[in-house]
């Protein structure tokens, strides 16, 4: 039985490959701009929704959903809406410590198992040229 990854994220695919896990990819179609004030609960809720959405298309197979949110200076940062938003996010994080919340949900055997990992990350101060270069490369990542 092969794991189904409910994400198009290249990073999530790389993590599973590095762990030697056999999987296929079927990204979820859920709307990701759900609001909430608690990042820990929000990433679990979104990961769970993604896993259950894809599990409907793959009955009997284990499905892994995941979601990440960055919190910096009291602001929750998801994926940027455009390049300007990405530059704003990276500027906000420059020279600061932020928390990265990743929620995972495994839908298997009629149950859903969830977990949250919280990582503190320090981003060194960046000049404006470096900020722009980074923003263009990170449009598909939470917190840019």
- Domains of the chain: which residue ranges? 3-137
Fold of the CATH domain 3-137: Maf protein (3.90.950)
Catalytic pick from 26, 29, 53, 67? 67
pTM of the prediction? 0.84
Bridge-based pairing state of the strands 63-72 and 3-5: parallel
Q: What is the pLDDT of residues 17-27, one digit of tens each?
A: 999 999 999 99
User: What is the C-alpha to C-alpha distance for residues 10 and 59, in angstroms, rounded to an integer?
Assistant: 24
As a whole number, the mean pLDDT across the chain is 88
Task: Examine the residue annotation and report whether 129 is marked as an active-site residue of this protein.
Answer: no
């Amino acid at each position: 039985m092969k794991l189904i990854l409910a994400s198009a994220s290249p990073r999530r695919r790389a993590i599973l490959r590095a762990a030697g896990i056999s999987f296929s990819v079927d990204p979820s179609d859920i709307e990701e701009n759900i609001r909430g004030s608690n990042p820990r609960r929000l990433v679990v809720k979104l990961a769970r929704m993604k896993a259950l959405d894809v599990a409907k298309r793959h009955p009997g197979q284990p499905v892994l959903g995941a979601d990440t949110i960055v919190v910096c200076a009291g602001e929750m940062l998801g994926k940027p809406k455009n390049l300007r938003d990405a530059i704003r996010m990276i500027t906000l994080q420059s020279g600061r410590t932020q928390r990265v919340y990743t929620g995972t949900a495994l839908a298997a055997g009629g149950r859903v198992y969830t977990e949250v990992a919280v990582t503190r990350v320090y981003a060194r101060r960046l000049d404006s040229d470096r900020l722009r270069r980074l923003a263009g490369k990170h449009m598909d990542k939470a917190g840019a």
